[in-house]
Amino acid sequence: MFIEQAFKFLHEWWRYLVGLIIIFVATQVGSIPLLIGVFMKIYNDGGDIMGIDDPNVLMTALDANLTLFLMLLSFAIGLFALYLVVKYLHRQPFETLTTSRNKTDWGRVFFAFGLITITTVVLTVLDYMSNPEDYVFQFQAVPFIILAVISLLMIPLQTSFEEYLFRGYLMQGIGVLAKNRWLPLLITSVIFGGLHLANPEVEKLGNIIMVYYIGTGFFLGIMTLMDEGMELALGFHAGNNLITAVLVTADWTVFKTPSILKDISEPSAGFDVLAPVLILYPIFLAIMAWRYKWKNWGQKLFGKVEEPLALKGEHL
């Protein structure tokens, strides 16, 4: 089973603490190129770097595509650091952090990717047709092609880093230490959502948007535990971020890209913020449960995590 696999490898608590520190430092190092680029651009333009206290001003100093690439670079470096931590600190094959199956099921990855991509495109087109005044068609071939290349290369690395960190590394680590499944689901989902507090969407819409972020964490965690692997979460997260980056942007979102559409409507924290968590996510889980024949929900979400007897014998 997915969490129990960690028992086969080095899983002392201090290894996870050291691993998290290494991963955190790596992501901070990865953010240095973005900071250097922003400061150099502002300095060359004659601006006062020290006088800028609005993060949004800093994030719009560079070209949108360059900003996106440099922003995603820190996640790519973090993913590489996580790989090294798992391989050398825990002596664990990376495949066992991905799935409990013999090998990664790419069919699951592409199914979840397609599910959220088709849904997002359909809902966006319907909203565009119903409220055309809320959108500006801003497609420009060259910037869009550059955006598409960056997105295809870098966004899967960003989303994979987050999935491997939360639904993989921490899910297994907390699970083998707590000896249950509900605590890693709870902790990883809340932390995953909490890390989005710095997003400009929170400032624009208010803390109610955290229901969406934390709810998304629970959604991804539930599908990981029920499916005994991260493939569905990897595909869903990548599809969600990728199609959002290339299809529609807004001045108040974390991804400000030269996408096809720009949303110019005044956002409000209404039911549309809760709809994905209360309506779409349950439907998605029902579809996946039917397709992959999920059973034993209580055990898989709230059951105990026990070290296999064969491994206990090895420790005696």
Of residues 100, 118, 109, 98, the one with CA closest to residue 283: 118
In 209-268, which ranges are E strands? 248-249, 261-263
pLDDT band at 131 (very low <50, low <70, confident <90, very high): very high
pLDDT above 70 coverage of the chain, percent? 91
What does the pLDDT look like over 34-91, one tens digit per residue?
Answer: 888 878 877 776 655 555 455 555 555 568 899 999 999 999 999 999 999 999 999 9
The residue ranges of every structural domain in the chain are: 3-315
Give the pLDDT band of residue 256 (cuts 50, 70, 90).
Answer: confident
316: confidence class by pLDDT, cuts 50, 70, 90: very low
Amino acid 62: pLDDT: 67
Read off the pTM.
Answer: 0.91
**Conformation bin of residue 251: beta by default, left when phi > 0, alpha when psi is -120 to 50:** alpha
pLDDT score of 312 more than 70: no
- Condensed to tens digits (0 to 9), the pLDDT of residues 287-304 reads 999 999 999 999 999 999
State the pLDDT confidence band at 250, using cuts at 50, 70 and 90.
confident
Whole-number average pLDDT of the chain: 90
**Confidence at residue 278, expressed as pLDDT on a 0 to 100 scale:** 93
pLDDT reported for residue 208: 87
Residue whose token pair is 């960056």: 150
Q: Which phi-psi region, left, alpha or beta, contains residue 63 (left: φ > 0; alpha: ψ -120 to 50)?
A: beta
- For residue 207, the 8-state DSSP code is T
Q: Is the pLDDT assigned to residue 274 strictly greater than 90?
A: no
Do 233 and 110 meet the contact criterion of CB atoms below 8 Å apart? Answer: no
User: Is residue 157 very low, low, confident or very high in pLDDT (cuts 50, 70, 90)?
Assistant: very high
